[in-house]
Chain A
């Protein structure tokens, strides 16, 4: 079963604009991760945020986490055509030692050149 739900399901923006994707989940977590998947390829890890963190940055990526609302957002600034892909959030937990990641349904992002 899917733990996370991404929103929107699909997003198209012009190159250079910022893209924001949201993820909601149901149970308590230890960590939340974001992954990218290009069409027909495997998933690539982008960023991990721990449950006691509220915000994290990596290059053009900014992730926020609100455990009280059980939600996270991924912001990609100054988008590029190469950012076109599907983006998934993934959570572990709730119990300590539950290492498997449960993935959301994904947001399909299209960057228009």
Chain B
């Protein structure tokens, strides 16, 4: 596709519900990142995939957060038993770069999650 696509753009969940956020990276991009951005703050790293391998999940705030990229393309970030502190914008980014080579990230528009 032309850019990184995220869905849904907006999600309202009741506390305790499970949510799934989808990311469609740019075709051919090897690396995929998830970031969490609270209001007025910079993005905070959650997790990183190279193809289907999850190489770094050190930023996931709790075991309620789970990410997958089973075929090395589309990725899903799942949050179980949502809490109010999970309210944030979840940004997905992809990159051509491979391990050991830094390059620019291409970001999607984000999924804004509000937990009531």
* Contact mask for chain B residues 49-61; partner A; CB cutoff 8 A; 1 contact, 0 none: 0000000100100
The number of A-B residue pairs with CB atoms under 8 Å apart is: 64
Name the B residues within 8 Å of A104 (CB-CB).
42
One of B68-76, B80-88, B102-110 contacting the partner: B102-110
Name the A residues within 8 Å of B4 (CB-CB).
42
Per DSSP, are chain A's interface residues mostly helix, strand or loop, or mixed? Answer: loop
Question: A35 CA to B105 CA in the complex, in Å?
Answer: 9
* Contact mask for chain A residues 17-44; partner B; CB cutoff 8 A; 1 contact, 0 none: 0000000000000110101000011111
| Chain B interface, number of residues (Cβ within 8 angstroms) | 28
Judged by a CB distance under 8 angstroms, whether A56 is at the interface is no
Within the complex, which residue of B42, B44, B100, B110 is in contact with A42, where a contact is CB–CB below 8 Å? B110
Judged by a CB distance under 8 angstroms, whether B43 is at the interface is yes
Name the B residues within 8 Å of A1 (CB-CB).
44
Q: Are A41 and B109 in contact (CB under 8 A)?
A: yes
Name the B residues within 8 Å of A92 (CB-CB).
102
Judged by a CB distance under 8 angstroms, whether A54 is at the interface is no
A residues near B, CB below 8 A? 1-2, 4, 30-31, 33, 35, 40-45, 48, 88, 92, 96-97, 99-106
Query: 5 A-B contacts, Cβ less than 8 Å apart?
Result: A35-B107, A42-B109, A88-B42, A99-B99, A105-B41
